[in-house]
Amino acid sequence: MSVAACPPAVRSVSLWRPRTARMGVPRVRVAVQSNLVSIAPMLTKLQRDCATPLPVLRHVADAMADDMRAGLAVDGGSDLKMILSYVDSLPTGNEKGLFYALDLGGTNFRVLRVQLGGKDERVIATEFDQVSIPQDLMFGTTEDLFDFIASGLAKFAQNEGGKFHLAQGRMREIGFTFSFPVKQTSIDAGILIKWTKGFAVSGTAGKDVVACLNEAMERQGLNMRVSALVNDTVGTLAGARYWDDDVMVAVILGTGTNACYVERVDAIPKLQGLKSSSGRTIVNTEWGAFSNGLPLTEYDREMDAESINPGEQIFEKTISGMYLGEIVRRVLVKMAEAGALFGECVPEKLSTPFMLGTPHISAIQQDNSKDLQAVGSILYDVAGVNSDLSARKIVVEVCDTLAKRGGRLAGAGIVGILQKMEENSEGVMSRKRTIVAMDGGLYEHYPQYRRYLQDAVTELLGSELSKNVVIEHSKDGSGIGAALLAATNSKYEHEF
């Protein structure tokens, strides 16, 4: 275990007693109580700063709805970009044929082949491949990133194995899920506004990402075309809507976060005359950029200041999977430095940014054992710290505090969207059942977070209205959704 130099303040407060911890280095720690006394006020302050009582939730929901309105009125009208998706007809179930989907949005990209069989057969077959994106490509050049993606797609397309025959002259069509803020200019084109989620690829912002992909596919000699460019929220909504007409909202809670919903065209002043055959369209809110009235702490502010996009994506940095573990780590470092939470020294590993991930803090909260053995192991394996039971209990409390704030704020965000929809007399809460399709690893793998989210929705809507709002996990729906949107927007006549 590598140990960082101990700050003098820590030395003066720590005393040691022998310890036969299973993870090695015997330690002496006599003044445990007095150490923990100094940590208790820090924990209390954290809990106070992160608190989300009903008035805070109400404010967030109202502010979300206000920001949505302002973003719909005019481009740049609020933190929320309220991006028009150009998706105004959702899948009906009649889609037929072979379609591909390509999904780039986090540390992995996925390629998917979907065979659609229309109303009777629905999704006949799906095959997929997942490739993790090397770290250096996230900081490299546009060409390198898109070449990597196109070569993964080429490999996957090769093993189609002559099973499908397309009519002569017809290209294979792709639904391209690109999960970053993009200003769409049509259903199959859009300009990257900025990278999020730790990506900092040079030269892409300001470019049409479909053109970037087309050029890379050409370099690979791939004869495929993008028929639909979609955000992952939009893909999720389309994928879930294929099975259930009551789906009106989709939310991603994973590495990053975002939400989209079905909006009436006449409630979008900035559309200025653009027509939609259905009178509705999907709006991608890009709610990760929301920032109004959030309960933030010194740890959030420091993390933001040191991030590659300071001042941006504040809601995302408060509630999403990329950041929750890092905020916990920052709190623990402070508690270790100022209150000797883990003894005399702060191990180097704990001081390494992003060393503690959200999967770890979720695992920490799943430990129901008396001595919190699993918590101890995670802390040792991941952060290089030895911990006694009192320290472990504090760590669990810290994780819970941040999961609770994140989940409850996410719930308030959802209610904000429903409020905005309700005012268009959609009756999404008051009259009918409305489904919020939800996807993302954070939601899927963090039960406490999920519960906090649901609690906040129920608290805000009351037990009667909240029965009409069903949050449904739609696992990996965005891939099939993108393939379906490629089918809906196919430039060819339907094959069958």
Which member of 147, 188, 208, 232 is catalytic?
A: 232
In the list 99, 100, 109, 180, the residue contacting ligand BGC (rule: CB under 6 A) is: 180
CB of 270: closest distance to ligand BGC in angstroms?
19
Q: What CA–CA distance (Å, rounded) separates 345 from 351?
A: 11
State phi, psi for 386 to the nearest 5 degrees: -90, 140
Pairing label, strands 280-284, 434-439: unpaired
Nearer Cβ to ligand BGC (257/434): 257
Does the protein bind ligand BGC through residue 317 (CB under 6 A)?
A: no
- The CA distance from 73 to 263, in Å, is 13
Residue 281 in contact with ligand BGC, rule: CB under 6 A = no
Q: Is there binding between residue 256 and ligand BGC (CB under 6 A)?
A: yes
- Residue number, nearest CB to ligand BGC: 256
Among residues 209 and 341, whose Cβ is nearest to ligand BGC? 209
Strand residues in 170-326 grouped as ranges (E):
172-178, 182-186, 189-192, 224-230, 247-253, 257-264, 280-284
Q: Which of 71, 91, 97, 105 binds ligand BGC (CB under 6 A)?
A: 105
Residue closer to ligand BGC (CB basis): 180 or 449: 180
Tell me which residue of 91, 89, 90, 69 sits closest to 80, measured CA to CA: 69
> According to CB under 6 A, which one of 150, 153, 252, 340 is a site residue for ligand BGC?
252
- Contacts for 57 with CB less than 8 Å, ≥ 6 apart: 408, 409, 411, 412, 415, 456, 459, 460
Binding pattern for the stretch 209-238 against ligand BGC, x by CB under 6 A and - elsewhere: ----------------------xxx-----
Q: Looking at residues 284 to 313 of the shown chain, list those that interact with ligand BGC (rule: CB under 6 A).
A: 286, 288
Identity of residue 144: D
d(CA 64, CA 476): 26
Nearest to 255 by CA among 285, 232, 226, 222: 232
Q: Are 322 and 328 in contact (CB under 8 A)?
A: no
Residue 318 interacts with ligand BGC (CB under 6 A)? no
Smallest distance, Å, CB 241 to ligand BGC? 17
Q: How far apart are CA 441 and CA 446, in angstroms?
A: 8
Among 35, 52, 177, 179, interactor with ligand BGC by CB under 6 A: 179
CB 87, min distance to ligand BGC, A = 14
Q: Which of 52, 257, 318, 474 binds ligand BGC (CB under 6 A)?
A: 257
Considering the candidates 79, 81, 147, 197, report the single residue annotated as catalytic. 197
Pairing, β 123-132 against β 108-117: antiparallel
Is 197 catalytic? The answer is yes
246 is catalytic: no
The piece of 178-186, 304-312, 370-378, 444-452 that touches ligand BGC (CB under 6 A) is 178-186
| Look-up of token digits 């040191």 | 306
Q: Which listed range, 23-31, 89-97, 217-225, 248-256, lies at the site for ligand BGC (CB under 6 A)?
A: 248-256
| Adjacent-strand bridge partners of 260 | 250, 284
Site for ligand BGC contains 459 (CB under 6 A): no
Q: How many CB atoms lie within 10 A of CB 26?
A: 11
One residue of 97, 175, 181, 407 binding ligand BGC per CB under 6 A: 181
CB nearer to ligand BGC: give 251 or 372: 251
Residue type, 1: M
The verdict on 177 binding ligand BGC (CB under 6 A) reads no
The contact pattern for ligand BGC, residues 351-390, with x = CB under 6 A and - = no contact, is: ----------------------------------------
Sheet with 96-104, strands from edge to edge, namely: 123-132, 108-117, 96-104, 172-178, 224-230
One residue of 29, 197, 280, 405 binding ligand BGC per CB under 6 A = 197
User: If residue 112 lies in a helix (H) or strand (E), which one and from where to where?
Assistant: strand 108-117
For residue 254, the minimal CB distance to ligand BGC (Å) is 6
Residue position matching structure tokens 């990996």:
476
Q: In whole angstroms, how close is the CB of 42 to ligand BGC at the nearest point?
A: 30
Q: CB nearer to ligand BGC: give 400 or 439.
A: 439
Q: Output the CA torsion 49→50→52→55 (10° steps).
A: 30
Q: 472 with 436: CB under 8 angstroms?
A: yes
Residue 103 touches ligand BGC, criterion: CB under 6 A: no
Nearer to ligand BGC, 475 or 494 (CB): 475
With residue 464 as reference, give the H or E element that holds it. helix 447-465
CB of 288 or CB of 411, closer to ligand BGC: 288
The nearest distance, CB 413 to ligand BGC, in angstroms, is: 13
Which are the contacts of 479, defined by CB distance < 8 A and separation ≥ 6?
Answer: 101, 103, 110, 112, 114, 126, 128, 177, 235, 239
Residue 171 and residue 120: Cα distance in Å, rounded?
A: 25
- Which residue's CB is nearer to ligand BGC, number 372 or number 480? 480
Task: For ligand BGC, give the closer residue by CB, 179 or 490.
Answer: 179
Would you tell me which residues interact with ligand BGC (CB under 6 A)? Answer: 105, 179-181, 196-197, 231-233, 252, 254, 256-258, 286, 288, 316
Residues with a catalytic annotation lie at 197, 232
